[in-house]
Every structure is written in structure tokens, then in C-alpha cells.
Amino acid sequence: MVQKRNIDAVINSLHNYTLIDVRTPLEFSKGHIPGAYNIPLLTNEDRVLVGTSYKQQGRQAAIKLGFELVGSKWKHFIEQAEALQEGKPFLVHCWRGGMRSGSMAWAFDLYGLHVETLIGGYKAYRNALPSSFEKTYNLRILSGKTGSGKTRILHALKQRGEQVLDLEDLAQHQGSSFGSMGKLIQPSQEQFENDLHRELVQMDAEKPIWVESESILIGLRTIPKSFFQQMEHAKTIDLVIPREKRLDYLTADYGVLDKEFLKFAVLAISKRLGPEQTKEALLAIRENRMRDFVDWVLAYYDKLYQKSVEKREPTKVIQMPFEEIKVNEIAETISTLK
């Protein structure tokens, strides 16, 4: 007998299952439960055929076509599942917990695998996510002007055993016009939210969770509004690093990137940068004066940062001056703050 599980009962314990998503590869690529394996019952093309049959000929004709298309694949499905066995029960799901997941679960159960299905499928999972973003978390925001080493300090905090939520890693973007670094590819908005949820459910909401200061947009991905509002009102550690040190830091990171990418990124913010600054930044790139290029662009980002700081509640901002970007030392110092 295949047991059915409600999403509320398993949303925080999905790691206890081997998740099998039987939707098409296209559906899976748009968004899936983190950690799930894709064993598609139908190919992308097959699903279109079945859907067309359902609309034109009705449910029974579509079911018959589905069985015809799946045909001799059942053995392959079971072998795929066997290869994924992790000593945990399988939790099979499709979009709405309907025929696709029911059919796959039936085959697994008939073969003797321990299998359960998710009531409401992936849709139920997605509907349950907003509540996790609305939950109250003990956030600590790590702020500071561009080039203060915030991301590496977060990594150092994590190595010290602190809870760290790296939003830029989840979004695969560093947050500015240059944030893709010329190579990073962002996940879909849907997948970004799924991955964020996975990180949050693994954390103790009552203990400090360190998060880098961000705007609501990280590249093209949006931080869920309810969670972002918590970030805006959380205690903030504002790193104050000398500009020259930040220039050195940024030049080392961005000065080695592809010049065509850097030119494109400068042009993307040219209206906000201004004609003179844009001209000088592009010229510096062409002449390989990378520190000068960073200098021109940094003036813009420092102004942007100042505006964001002014929006924060002064009583919740603690300024911490450091003469050098010594990542481990900074992490050690701020980790002692209550």
C-alpha cells in the first residue's frame, strides 16, 4: 500500500526521503524541490501529445496514449530508482500529485520499493513556501561599502560555526552590474526560492543567522518580500574599511575579468554613472588601467551604499572600523557581538 503524505507533515523533513520528481525535464529545470532526482514519466514532447489528446479526445484517450508512450520504460524507471536508493523511503511527486506520480509509485510499490507520494505534488510544496519566509528569524546583517570583503567574511563566520545564509551564492550573482562575473548563470526565480527555503529550514531561527546586506534584487532574482522586510529591520554590522584598501581588494577580484564583459557592465549603468565617469571607466579598461577603472565605478557604488544606509534604523546599526581587510580577524571580532 502506497502511503500519501501531506506537505505540512514533511516540509521540514524532506531530507529524510529520496525525492523522485516524475515531471518532464522541462518542468524540472524550471524549478524543483532541492535534492530531488528527475525520473520523468513522459518526455517533454510526450506530455504535449498527451495534453493535446486530453483536450481533443478526453481523459480515457489521453490515459491510453500515455501508457502507449511509456510502453517498455517501466524496467528502466525501476532500475533508475534502485540506483538512487539511499536507505530512505522514496517520496514520489508530480505537479499536482495526480496520475503521473500515482503510476510511478504503483510500479515502485509493485516491485517492492518503499514508496510514498506527496499529496498535491510539487504545487503543494510551492504553496507552502511563503510561510517559511514569514517566520521570524534572528538575523544579523553584514553591511559595508563595496569591496569590504563581506562575502569572504561570511565564509569565515561559517567556518567558525556560525549560521550563514549566502544569498548571493543561492542567486549565483554578486549583486551589482558586474555581479555575474562574466560567467555565473542565475537559477530561475522559482528555484532561487526553493533553495532559500532549504537553507532556512536547516537553521535554528532563534540563533543568529548572518546575511549580507542586499537590495531586494540580486541580479534578476528577487528576495521574497516578507524575508527582505526582516532584513531591513535586523541588527546591522556596518564594516568601515579605508577606500584605498577596498580599491586594492576590488582590483584583485574584478581587474582580471574579461574586458568585454566589464565594458558591457559599465554601459549598463552608464545613465546612473554619468557621461564623464562612463567615458573614463571605459578608457581605463581599454588601456588596462584596472585600478583606475575600479576607482571611477566605485564612486557610484559608494553613493548608492550611502543611500541604503540612510534607510536603516540608526539604533540597529553598529559601525565597526577596520584598517585592513583581514577576513578571519574581522569574523572573529564581529562573531562576539550580541
C-alpha span between 190 and 180 (Å, rounded): 19
Q: What is the DSSP string of 179-220?
A: TTTTT--PPPHHHHHHHHHHHHHTS-TTS-EEEE---SEETT
Q: What is the DSSP string of 101-165?
A: HHHHHHHHHHHT--EEEETTHHHHHHHHHHHHHHS---EEEEEESTTS-HHHHHHHHHHTT-EEE
C-alpha span between 320 and 153 (Å, rounded): 13
C-alpha span between 220 and 11 (Å, rounded): 27
Mark whether 198 is an active-site residue.
Answer: no
CB 199 within 8 A of CB 165: yes
Instruction: List CB contacts of 209: < 8 A, sequence separation 6 or more.
Output: 137, 138, 139, 140, 163, 164, 165, 203
Active-site residue, selected from the candidate residues 91, 94, 165, 281: 94
Q: Which of these, 221, 112, 223, lies nearest to 165 by C-alpha position?
A: 223
Q: Identify any residues that bridge with 235 across adjacent strands, giving them in sequence order.
A: 140
| Straight-line distance from the first to the last Cα atom of the chain, in angstroms, rounded to the nearest whole number | 52
Instruction: List CB contacts of 238: < 8 A, sequence separation 6 or more.
Output: 143, 144, 309, 317, 318, 319, 320
Instruction: List CB contacts of 173: < 8 A, sequence separation 6 or more.
Output: 179, 180, 184, 186, 218, 219, 220, 221
CB 132 within 8 A of CB 226: no
C-alpha span between 20 and 78 (Å, rounded): 12
Catalytic residues: 94
